[in-house]
C-alpha cells in the first residue's frame, strides 16, 4: 500500500499495537505523528518508523486531557501539512469487579478508551474532510462480549463501537471512512505486570492488527469495511 504523501496520527504509539501500526504506516511511506504519555517510548517507535522509511513527529501527551488531544492534532497538521489517517488506539484495561471499582478507575478507563477517541476525532475532522481520510478505532471483542470482572473496560469498548458507528454515518459522504477493528487476545504488554513473560504463540500479534489497517487502507474508494473482528485461530479450548 503506497501511502506516500499521507499524514497519519497514531495514539498509544509508544508500544504494542500502536507501535506496530505506526511502523507499518511508515513502511508504506506515510508521515506519522506518534502520541502517548511516555516520550522515551515514542522516540523508540520513531526510530523504528524511520528505519521502515517513514517520517515522524513525536508528541507526548495525556489524552485524558482535551488540550493534549488538540495539541496532538495540531502537531500532526503542522509537521506534515494535514491529516488523512487517524488511528485511535490508546487504551487501558481494568480487571476489577464492579463492587471494587472506584470513580477514579472508572473515569480513567472511559476518558482513555472513549473520551480520547471523541476529542481527537473532533479535532481531526476539519482536516480529514478536506480530501478524504480514514479513522480507525482499535476496540476489542470485549465491546460485544461481556466479561465478569472487566465491566469498565467492556462498557468503554461497547460505547466506542457505537460512537464509531454513529460517526461513520455522519462523515461517509465527506469521503471519510470509519472502521472499528475489534481484536481478541493480542500478544502485547497490555494488562500484564511489567517484566512478566510475553504471551503465548496462539495469540494474535500486534503486526496482525497493523496488517489489517494496511489492508483496509487499500480498499477501493467507493467500498468501505466499517467493522472488522479479529480472533486467534487456535486459542486454548475451554474446559
Ligand X SMILES: NC(=O)c1ccc[n+]([C@@H]2O[C@H](COP(=O)([O-])OP(=O)(O)OC[C@H]3O[C@@H](n4cnc5c(N)ncnc54)[C@H](OP(=O)(O)O)[C@@H]3O)[C@@H](O)[C@H]2O)c1
Interface with ligand X (CB under 6 A), residue total 27
CB of 157 to ligand X, least distance (A): 7
In the annotation, is 153 catalytic? yes
Q: What is the distance between the alpha carbons of residues 193 and 190, in angstroms, rounded to a whole number? A: 9
Q: Which of 6, 10, 17, 49 binds ligand X (CB under 6 A)?
A: 17
Residue 4 in the binding site for ligand X (CB under 6 A):
no
Choices 9-17, 95-103, 169-177, 215-223; region in contact with ligand X by CB under 6 A: 9-17
Q: Which of 3, 7, 8, 15 binds ligand X (CB under 6 A)?
A: 15
Packing angle between helix 39-52 and helix 16-27, nearest 10 degrees? 30
Residue 59 in the binding site for ligand X (CB under 6 A):
no
Note whether 72 and 33 are within 8 A (CB). Answer: yes
**Cell numbers found for residue 36:** 502517548
Which residues is 8 bridged to in the sheet? Answer: 32, 85
CB of 163 to ligand X, least distance (A): 13
Q: Which of 185, 210, 212, 216 binds ligand X (CB under 6 A)?
A: 185
- Residue 225 phi/psi, 5-degree rounding, is -95, 115
Q: Which of 164, 188, 213, 217 binds ligand X (CB under 6 A)?
A: 188
Which residue, 10, 47, 15, 50, is CA-closest to 29? Answer: 50
Residue 190 in the binding site for ligand X (CB under 6 A):
yes
CB of 27 to ligand X, least distance (A): 18
Residue 36 in the binding site for ligand X (CB under 6 A):
yes
Catalytic residue among 153, 163, 171, 209: 153
- Residues numbered 61-90 forming contacts with ligand X, rule: CB under 6 A: 62-64, 89-90
Q: Which of 91, 115, 133, 232 binds ligand X (CB under 6 A)?
A: 91
Q: Which residues are catalytic?
A: 153
Binding site for ligand X (CB under 6 A): 11-12, 14-18, 36-38, 41, 62-64, 89-92, 112, 138, 140, 183, 185-186, 188-190
Amino acid at each position: 500500500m503506497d501511502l506516500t504523501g499521507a499524514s497519519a496520527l497514531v495514539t498509544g504509539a509508544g508500544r504494542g499495537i500502536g507501535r506496530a501500526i505506526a511502523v507499518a504506516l511508515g513502511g508504506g511511506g506515510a508521515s506519522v505523528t506518534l502520541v502517548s504519555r511516555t516520550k522515551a517510548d515514542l522516540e523508540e517507535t520513531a526510530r523504528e518508523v524511520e528505519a521502515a522509511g517513514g517520517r515522524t513527529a513525536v508528541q507526548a501527551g495525556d489524552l485524558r486531557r482535551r488540550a493534549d488531544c488538540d495539541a496532538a492534532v495540531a502537531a500532526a497538521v503542522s509537521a506534515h501539512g494535514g491529516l488523512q489517517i487517524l488511528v485511535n488506539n490508546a487504551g487501558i484495561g481494568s480487571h476489577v469487579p464492579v463492587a471494587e471499582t472506584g470513580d477514579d478507575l472508572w473515569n480513567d478507563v472511559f476518558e482513555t478508551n472513549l473520551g480520547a477517541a471523541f476529542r481527537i476525532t473532533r479535532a481531526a475532522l476539519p482536516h480529514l474532510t478536506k480530501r478524504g481520510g480514514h479513522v480507525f478505532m482499535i476496540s476489542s471483542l470485549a465491546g460485544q462480549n461481556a466479561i465478569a470482572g472487566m465491566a469498565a473496560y467492556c462498557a468503554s469498548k461497547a460505547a466506542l463501537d457505537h460512537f464509531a458507528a454513529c460517526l461513520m454515518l455522519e462523515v461517509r459522504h465527506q469521503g471519510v471512512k470509519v472502521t472499528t477493528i475489534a481484536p481478541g487476545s493480542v500478544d502485547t504488554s497490555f494488562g500484564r505486570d511489567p517484566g512478566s513473560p510475553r504471551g503465548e504463540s496462539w495469540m494474535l500479534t500486534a503486526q496482525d492488527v497493523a496488517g489489517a489497517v494496511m489492508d483496509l487502507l487499500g480498499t477501493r474508494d467507493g467500498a468501505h469495511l466499517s467493522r472488522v473482528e479479529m480472533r486467534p485461530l487456535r486459542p486454548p479450548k475451554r474446559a
